[in-house]
């Protein structure tokens, strides 16, 4: 089989070559030729590579196997970036890898990889594998099984981009390049290995990877790599939703989410690539909020902080909720039920499409559900503090302040309240509700029964109403504050789901 593969690759007739894994564009005529470089001359040094990855390679090599650092670990090190993680590729079988280490675990049933553990670090170690010509695919060409071991050359060819197919041997200080990845790296070009359309059909997720890497690395996308995406983007619909969700999270948690979204927009790819991206870039009035939210996420990621998917999705879908909340209040619904209904309708529509998992949906409900209470501040604040997701709700409120949806003084009040000792908190409570003009605000609200908003009033709750935050709703809730509304108590409480929770997407 390997022989046939090489015959096709190096000397086979065009007819024979049809259906074979195509060689990389720069090497298309002659098949992949190995070029080797001294690592240190390219600017990659052992010190940049994790000790655990080096140890993994050393131990496998000593046992007589080939072993290289591959993928993002090499690419990012060569670019002077800090890699997210290090993967190792080897010609040892998973069982042989496992037998070589004290702490190693085989993962996966269909295609096995090995997690080799050193202290707290885990090195994902995979056996060279090959693209199969006769691989089982769905009707669109998506490869359903991808589990045949192969040679190192075959392993290079089955990878996605030339810059992701570099093999670094930290012991020999050598970079091995079969597909022109070093040249592409120098030219800052992202180039799909093989025929891009075929590779996207095999695995549509590669389209998202194109966008993610282009944004993360600030690379130019080779025109042939870019061209098929607009036409093939709809194939993403056939990808199992859990995988799509994972890849989407990678994009959003890449530390370059804003750049990714801007890139999609600039290249006209924001339609249909991912339902979530349509939501993100097409929100009515929501651009500012989304930009602030994504910039905030990127800053957190770059500072090494965690990002909770529930929070992230709550921000991404907020404008939809907010617009519907406002509309319902304008139609005379009470604030809290209006918010509940808006949340329900958005989640019904989006959650299964986006494959958002149930546990994240519970977080989203909590974060959104806290907003009216947080907008009010005042006496309800002390109770809100006890909410399990108060912190997330408060962070969310601060994003809304930053996006100009709510007055800055409201954010300041909360920050002082959160940071303050009990004496400070009492003082702040006296200064609120309604902060600057507490009594007037309340009176005005009730008098105005049904009036939608009091633009420019300057009080936090009133301004909040301007964007759907409660003023209009309070107007509708004549004589009854949202906290007294029985519906409020239905808001998912301490960590559990709410009775209104929908089933998780399939
Ligand atoms: P990062 O981890 O920084 O996001 P990475 O390049 O390491 O980037 P991974 O998802 O960790 O990306 O994958 C490791 C390597 O596996 C890639 O560099 C690529 O060579 C290969 N790879 C991953 N996903 C695919 C895919 N869908 N098709 C082909 N090759 C892939
Ligand atoms: Mg990686």
Annotated catalytic residue: which of 87, 155, 222, 471? 87
Give yes or no for residue 129 CB within 6 A of ligand 1.
no
Please give the full DSSP string across 173-184, using - where no structure is assigned. Answer: TEEEESSSHHHH
Dist. CA 77 → ligand 2 center (Å): 12
CA–centroid distance, residue 297 to ligand 1 (Å): 22
Nearest of 178, 180, 197 to residue 189 by alpha carbon: 180
Distance between Cα 343 and ligand 1 center (Å): 36
Q: For residues 142 and 323, which has the higher predicted lDDT (pLDDT)?
A: 323
Q: How confident is the model at residue 465 (pLDDT cuts 50, 70, 90)?
A: very low
Q: Which residues of 381-409 are buried (b: 16+ CB within 10 A; e: fewer)?
A: beebeebebbebbbbbbbbbbbbebbbeb
Q: Render 242-299 in DSSP notation, one character per residue.
A: HHHHHHHHHHHTSS-HHHHHHHHHHTT-TTTS-HHHHHHHT-TT-HHHHHHHHHHHHH
Q: What is the pLDDT of residues 401-421, one digit of tens each?
A: 998 999 999 999 999 988 888
- Cβ–ligand 1 distance for 471 under 6 Å, the answer no
Ligand 1 atom with least separation from CA of 76: 3
Catalytic (active site) residue 173: no
With beta carbons less than 8 A apart as the criterion, state whether 196 and 160 touch.
no
Q: Which of 24, 81, 164, 248 to mutate to test the pocket of ligand 1 (most atoms within 8 A of CB)?
A: 164
Residue nearest to atom 27 of ligand 1 (CA): 206
Whether residue 481 is predicted with pLDDT greater than 70 in this model: the reply is no
Beta bridge partners of 149: 129
Task: Write out the H or E segment, with its range, that includes residue 88.
Answer: strand 87-90
Tens digits of residue pLDDT in 184-240: 999 999 999 999 999 999 999 999 899 899 989 999 999 999 999 888 888 887 888
Mean pLDDT of 49-67: 97
- Residue 453: per-residue pLDDT: 32
State the CB neighbour count (10 A cutoff) for residue 275: 17
410, containing H or E segment: helix 408-419
Mean pLDDT for 292-297 is 90
C-alpha 315: how far from chain center: 13
How many A from CA of 244 to the centre of ligand 1? 15
Supply the residue whose CA is at minimum distance from atom 16 of ligand 1: 71
Residue 484 has pLDDT above 60, yes or no: no
Specify the range with the lowest mean pLDDT, choosing from 72-81, 183-192, 308-317.
308-317
Give the CA-trace dihedral at 122, 128, 132, 135, to 10 degrees.
-30
Pocket flag, ligand 1, residue 159 (CB < 6 Å): yes
Ligand 1 center to 290 CA (angstroms)? 27
91, 155, 160, 435: the active-site residue = 160
Q: Please answer whether residues 133 and 21 qualify as being in contact, where contact means their C-beta atoms are separated by less than 8 angstroms.
A: yes
To the query of whether residue 430 is one of the catalytic residues in this protein, the response is: no
Ligand nearest to the CA of 217: 1
Q: Evaluate: CB of 173 within 6 angstroms of ligand 1.
A: no
Q: What is the pLDDT of residues 346-400, one digit of tens each?
A: 998 887 777 788 889 999 999 999 999 899 877 777 788 888 899 999 999 999 9
Does 146 sit in the ligand 1 pocket, CB within 6 Å? no
* Residues composing the chain: 506
Atom 8 of ligand 1 has which residue's CA nearest to it? 72
Please tell me the residue having the least CA distance from ligand 1 atom 1: 72
Cβ contacts of 436 within 8 Å, gap of 6 or more: 409, 458, 459
Q: Given this model, what pLDDT does residue 291 score? A: 84
Average pLDDT over residues 85-97: 96
- Cα within 13 Å of Cα(372), Cβ side: 31
pLDDT surpassing 70 at residue 31: no
87 is catalytic: yes
The answer on pLDDT for 486 being more than 60 is: no
**How many beta carbons lie within 10 A of that of residue 449, not counting itself?**
12
* CB burial of residue 448 (10 Å; 0-12, 13-18, 19+): middle
pLDDT at 387 (0 to 100): 87
Per-residue pLDDT, 461:
29
Confidence of residue 447 (pLDDT cuts 50, 70, 90): very low
Give this prediction's pTM: 0.72
Nearest listed ligand to the Cα of residue 216? 1
Q: How far is the CA of 314 from the centre of ligand 1 (A)?
A: 28
Asked whether the predicted pLDDT for residue 99 surpasses 90, the reply is yes
Query: Is the pLDDT score of 50 beyond 60?
Result: yes
The average pLDDT across 37-50 equals: 94
Query: 13 pLDDT exceeds 50?
Result: no
The predicted structure's pLDDT at residue 349 = 83
CA 363 centroid distance within chain: 17
- CA gap 355, 127 in Å, rounded: 31
pLDDT, residue 420, reads 86
pLDDT given for residue 177 in this prediction = 98
Q: How far is the CA of 53 from the centre of ligand 2 (A)?
A: 12
> If you average pLDDT over every residue of the chain, what do you get?
77
Shortest-distance Cα residue to atom 28 of ligand 1: 160
pLDDT score, position 19? 33
């Amino acid at each position: 089989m390997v022989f046939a593969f090489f015959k096709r690759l190096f000397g086979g007739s065009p007819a024979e070559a049809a259906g074979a894994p195509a060689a990389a564009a720069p090497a298309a005529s002659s098949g992949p030729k190995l070029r080797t470089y001294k690592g240190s001359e390219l600017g990659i040094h052992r010190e940049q590579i994790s000790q655990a990855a080096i140890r993994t390679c050393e131990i496998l090599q000593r046992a007589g196997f080939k072993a290289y650092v591959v993928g993002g670990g090499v690419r990012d090190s060569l670019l002077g970036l800090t890699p997210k993680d290090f993967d190792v590729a080897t010609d040892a079988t998973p069982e042989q890898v496992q037998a070589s280490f004290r702490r190693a675990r085989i993962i996966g049933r269909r295609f096995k990889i090995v997690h080799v553990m050193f202290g707290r670090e885990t090195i994902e170690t995979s056996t060279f594998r090959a693209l199969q010509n006769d691989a089982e695919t769905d009707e669109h060409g998506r490869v359903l099984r991808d589990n045949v071991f192969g040679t190192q050359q075959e392993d290079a060819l089955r990878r996605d981009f030339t810059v992701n197919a570099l093999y670094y041997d930290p012991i020999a200080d050598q970079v091995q390049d079969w597909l022109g990845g070093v040249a592409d790296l120098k030219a800052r070009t992202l180039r799909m290995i093989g025929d891009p359309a075929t590779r996207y059909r095999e695995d549509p997720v590669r389209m998202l990877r194109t966008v993610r890497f282009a944004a993360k690395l600030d690379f130019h996308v080779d025109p042939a790599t870019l061209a098929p995406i607009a036409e093939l983007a709809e194939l993403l619909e056939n990808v199992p939703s859990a995988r799509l969700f994972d890849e989407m999270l990678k994009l959003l948690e890449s530390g370059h989410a804003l750049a990714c979204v801007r890139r999609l927009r600039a290249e006209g790819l924001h339609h249909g690539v991912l339902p979530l991206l349509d939501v993100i870039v097409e929100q009515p009035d929501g651009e500012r909020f989304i930009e602030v939210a994504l910039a905030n996420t990127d800053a957190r990621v770059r500072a090494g902080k965690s990002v909770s998917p529930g929070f992230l999705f709550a921000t991404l879908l907020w404008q939809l909720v907010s617009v519907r909340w406002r509309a319902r209040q304008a139609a005379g619904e009470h604030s809290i039920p209006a918010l509940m209904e808006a949340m329900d309708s958005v989640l019904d529509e989006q959650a299964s499409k986006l494959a958002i998992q149930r546990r994240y949906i519970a977080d989203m409900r909590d974060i959104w559900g806290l907003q009216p209470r947080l907008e009010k501040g005042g006496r309800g604040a002390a109770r809100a503090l006890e909410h399990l997701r108060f912190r997330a709700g408060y962070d969310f409120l601060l994003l809304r302040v930053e996006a100009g949806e709510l007055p800055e003084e409201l954010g300041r009040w909360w920050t002082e309240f959160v940071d303050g000792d009990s004496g400070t908190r009492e003082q702040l409570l006296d200064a609120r509700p309604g902060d600057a003009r507490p009594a007037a605000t309340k009176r005005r609200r009730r008098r105005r029964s049904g009036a939608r908003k009091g633009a420019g009033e300057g009080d936090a709750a009133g301004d909040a109403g301007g964007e759907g935050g409660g003023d209009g709703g309070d107007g509708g809730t004549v004589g009854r504050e949202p906290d007294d509304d029985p519906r409020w108590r239905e808001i998912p409480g301490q960590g559990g789901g709410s009775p209104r929770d929908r089933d998780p997407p399939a």
